[in-house]
Amino acid sequence: MPRQSLDMVNEALAGERLALARLLTMVENDTSEGRAALDYLYPHTGKAHLVGITGSPGTGKSSLVNQLVKSFRSMGVEKVAVIAVDPSSSFTGGALLGDRVRMRDLSGDSGVFIRSMASRGALGGISRTTVSVAQVLDAVGYDIILIETVGAGQAEVEIARLAHTVVVVEAPGMGDEIQAMKAGILESADILVVNKCDLPGAERTARALKAMVEMTHPARPGQEAEKALWSAPILLACSTDCQGVDEITRAICAHYVFIKSSREWQRRDYERMKNNLDLLLRDLLFQRFIQRVGNERYQQVLELLTDRKLSPFEALERLLNEG
């Protein structure tokens, strides 16, 4: 690693915020220095509790994250980091700015570090760069890392693969039944929050969720023992006036204790590492393959495919024969 990068990494390890921010940019841009820094830092990872906060747009995730950070800090957690993954920002930048403003009241706290990042857009892009950024924050000593993503279908699944604890945030009056039908979300939720409980219909949403959870998590015989022991609590909160926030913090801590005392922590770590390695491998093999075949040839075959002159399997066969 170049001397300059090594200095930056060591400064970040020593708690220098500017060095950390620069390091994260390198890692996010996936530069060779960024990769070398991650290699160097990797032995320091594995301690942080990664908490995913997901849910439909506008349910109040950022507001809640803001309150959760304060709650963790007042409980005595020394270092809390936030990664706000914002798919919409690549188009407008607006939502990102909103988050910055909302989180401004945390910026005076030296125990808090906030990182907003635009998702890469590419398949698996959210998780790959987010995994790396989380690893850096873990390595430099952040105890809890809250990762906010907007739940747009695939994102919940990705966040579930990324985090130790998944908090799904819903809000009343957003088509409860339809929302709850997104069973994939409920499958991956460790904690469910009905935020905006100051608005009418919160209790009804909570009941609808409860019914859905009972349907998707029936206590089946033969189910993994660890899974059967944790049933996702459904908590009401109002993040604009702090109501119910400490209960969520406590539930997150209780889930931490649960996964640490069972085999869940290792299982999730393994899943996370495997998923990340598979993504890296797929990316690399694809890139190598395209290099060998040539992008032009790839486009030609793609055109034959779209013109219905080749079927997908025939296209595959042709590329493989040439690669």
Name the residue nearer to ligand GTP (CB basis): 34 or 244: 244
Residue 195 to residues 59, 161, 202, 322, Cα–Cα distance (Å)? 7, 24, 8, 55
Radius of gyration of the chain (CA): 21
Phi then psi for residue 218, to 5 deg, are: -70, 145
* Residue 175 engages ligand GTP in binding (rule: CB under 6 A): no
Q: Which does 59 bind (CB under 5 to 8 A by kind): ligand GTP, Mg ion, none?
A: ligand GTP
Q: Cβ of residue 198: shortest distance to ligand GTP, in angstroms?
A: 5
How far is the C-alpha of 189 from the C-alpha of 156, rounded, in Å? 9
To which residue do tokens 């109501």 refer? Answer: 243
Among 117, 136, 238, 259, binds ligand GTP (CB under 6 A): 238
Among 2, 57, 175, 200, binds ligand GTP (CB under 6 A): 57
How far is the C-alpha of 135 from the C-alpha of 116, rounded, in Å? 15
Per the CB < 8 A criterion, the answer to whether 6 and 126 are in contact is: no
Q: Which residues between 255 and 314 bind ligand GTP (CB under 6 A)?
A: none
* Residue 62 engages Mg ion in binding (rule: CB under 5 A): yes
Among 135, 188, 239, 276, binds ligand GTP (CB under 6 A): 239
Judged by CB under 6 A, which stretch of 23-31, 52-60, 203-211, 287-295 contacts ligand GTP?
A: 52-60
Q: Cβ of residue 62: shortest distance to ligand GTP, in angstroms?
A: 3
Q: Which does 216 bind (CB under 5 to 8 A by kind): Mg ion, ligand GTP, none?
A: none
Among 5, 62, 116, 276, binds ligand GTP (CB under 6 A): 62
Q: Cβ of residue 96: shortest distance to Mg ion, in angstroms?
A: 9
Residue of 136, 150, 163 whose CA lies nearest to 255: 163
Cα angle 147, 123, 48 (rounded to 5 degrees) comes to 25
* Residue 246 engages ligand GTP in binding (rule: CB under 6 A): no
Total site size for ligand GTP, rule CB under 6 A: 16
Name the residue nearer to ligand GTP (CB basis): 34 or 151: 151
* Residue 59 engages ligand GTP in binding (rule: CB under 6 A): yes
Judged by CB under 6 A, which stretch of 114-122, 137-145, 190-198, 282-290 contacts ligand GTP?
A: 190-198
Within the chain, strands assigned E span: 49-55, 80-86, 112-118, 144-150, 165-170, 191-194, 234-236
* Residue 15 engages ligand GTP in binding (rule: CB under 6 A): no
The Cβ-side half-sphere exposure at 319, using a 13 Å CA radius, reads 26
Per the CB < 8 A criterion, the answer to whether 227 and 239 are in contact is: no
Q: Cβ of residue 14: shortest distance to Mg ion, in angstroms?
A: 31
Task: Give the alpha-carbon dihedral of 22, 24, 25, 29, to 10 degrees.
Answer: 150
Cα angle 202, 208, 212 (rounded to 5 degrees) comes to 140
Site residues (CB under 5 A) for Mg ion? Answer: 61-62
